[in-house]
Structure 1
Amino acid sequence: MFTKLTPINKENHANLKVKAIESFEFASKFHIASVMVHEFVRAASVYPIVFLEDKAQDEFRPVTLLSLDAGENLFVDVNGKWQASYVPAIIRRYPFALAKNPEQDSFTVCVDEDSAYVGTEEGQPLFDENGEPTAVIENVKRYLGELQQMEAFTKAFCHFLSENNLFTPLNMRVRAADQIKNVTGCYVINEERLNNLSDKKFLEIKEKRYLAPIYSHLTSLSQIERLALLKQGVSAIESPAAATEGNLQ
């Protein structure tokens, strides 16, 4: 998604402006998108939510499947419109992101300087004539800060599931475009193991507010069949329309 992510500062970006996202063409090749626990309920009504293992970090992370094939996003049409009611936050935050400062326990707001949505001619300025951050910067900081807190909660959620051996590999066969596809390489919550947890452990899940995302994830798995239908050109979304989620600006 990002090709030239650079920390924002008034020396280098005094004249930089950002335009509202009018097309999601930049995401047309994404077949997965990371999501956070707080998104599960809304995302589950459209996309399958599964978990990927990051062996280097020894952790799992949740993602939505946007296609069963790499390099394809079934929810972005030829005009760059998002054909679903919910757009994952990681895509809505573009062209901004947070980068961790290597020597401090803090983060810096960055922008993709190569993005078609930033430049010096059109859009809302990041800094005013006095070199002070505009409302755009403040809104971005607040939004990315909220996402960072959600990400910390999501990591704790995934750690809990892993610690309690609730992940199991997904191995599913679906028919897509006259082909039988094996959906593998990701993980789902094992419902049988979940149901066999002790009452004490189940109460802990409830107290941690993990119940809703767990069942949202399990319910979302039926959306894998929707992806197969979309691949065949049969819209399983009753009235597709561009997402109404607001941009950062």
Structure 2
Amino acid sequence: MTQHAVLDSLKHRHLRVRTDRAATLGDAVMACLVMPAEFRRAQAHYPIVFQRDLKSGRLSALALFGFENGENLFLGENGWDAAWIPLAHAVQPFLIGRTTDPAATPQVHIDLASSRVSEAEGERLFDDMGNPAAFLEEVAQSLGDLDGAYRASGAFYEALERHDLVESFMFEVPQADGSRQSLAGFLTINEERLRTLPADVLGELHAAGHLLPIFMAVASVGRFAELVARKSSRAHG
């Protein structure tokens, strides 16, 4: 259950938000959305895969943390074992709220039902005078960055579709008992198609800023081996 509310300095002056990482705080997740603008940083830690919405058919990208629902192989007793977390997950329990007026300034919302929200632990959102704390100002900046990256992502996915650059794939995950678990339902960059693109198309993708995130998504495939090693380590740990 969620309970979204517009953040208010009077109603929520005494609220705090926990920033540590734990399963009880909502971090036990297999994946989260990652924006093309984040691919350079994401590929240093996580495999990047694509998925297609069953209703709209639209593409989006995910950073994988595990191979099954609720499995985060980066989460341990000492928190999150990676130097960077995608913005879509890092900003929780905050989100951007919009009105029906497209010209209106977006508002910062908070999920009051989140286990991160507390009055006793964590970072304060407002000072005693009701002014935004430094933590909240950082959150607002991150939300703005995420919103901008999301809005810019449409052109990237449109280019992938236009040039037929994604394909389905299946990854076999070795299990402790010697069996294999199939990771399916996701898409990845079609490397053969990418290699055969004409020079003018490559130039067009580069000029639009799409070529770098494409290459970063390709590079991230190498992170599957590390993810398998993390799973194996836990199985034998």
Q: Are residue 188 (structure 1) and residue 168 (structure 2) matched?
A: no
TM-score (structure 1 length as normaliser): 0.82
Q: How far 1:132 moved relative to its partner?
A: 4.4
Q: 1: CA distance between counterparts of 2:78 and 2:213?
A: 30
Letter in 1 for 2:80: W
Alpha-carbon deviations, 1:64-107, whole Å to 9, x = none? 11111122111101x25111222222222122111332444553
User: Which residue of structure 2 aligns with residue 244 of structure 1?
Assistant: none
Q: How does 1:1-249 map to 2 (within 5 A)?
A: 3-19=2-18, 21-25=19-23, 26-77=25-76, 79=77, 81-105=79-103, 106-177=105-176, 178-233=178-233
CA shift, 1:118, in A, is 2.6
How much does 1:122 deviate? 4.5
Provide the rounded CA distance (Å) in 2 between the counterparts of 1:83 and 1:122: 22
User: Which segments of 5 or more consecutive residues in structure 1 lack a partner in the other structure?
Assistant: 236-249
After superposition, the C-alpha distances for 1:156-195 in whole angstroms (9 at most, x for unaligned) are 2112101221111012334232221222100011111112
User: Considering only aligned residues, what root-mean-square deviation do their CA atoms show, in Å?
Assistant: 2.3
Whole-angstrom distance in 2 between the partners of 1:90 and 1:188: 20
Distance 1:59 1:234, change over 3 A: same
CA contact (8 A) 2:21 2:27 kept: no
Taking a change above 3 Å as real, the CA distance of residues 204 and 82 of structure 1, as seen in their structure-2 partners, is same
Find the residue that maps to 1:58 and give its secondary structure.
Answer: coil
Contact 1:15 1:127 in 2 (8 A): yes
Percent of matched pairs sharing the same residue = 28
Residue pair 1:59, 1:159 contacting (<8 A) in 2 also: no
Compared CA separation, residues 176 and 224, structure 1 to 2 (3 A): farther
8 Å contact kept, 2:31–2:65: yes
Question: Unpaired segments of 5 or more residues in structure 2?
Answer: none
Equivalent position amino acid for 1:195 in 2: R
Q: TM-score, normalised by structure 2?
A: 0.86
Further displaced range: 185-194 or 86-95: 86-95
How many pairs align?
232
Q: Deviations over 1:100-157 (max 9, x none)?
A: 3244455321112123433334455434455444444433222211111111222321
Measured in 2, the distance between the counterparts of 1:121 and 1:234 equals 33
Query: What residue identity is the alignment partner of 2:180?
Result: I
Comparing 79-88 and 161-170, the one that deviates more:
79-88
Change (3 A) 1:214 1:117: same
Paired with 1:147 and 1:54, the residues of 2 have a C-alpha distance of: 20
Q: Give the conservation status (yes or no) of the 8 Å contact 2:22–2:28.
A: no
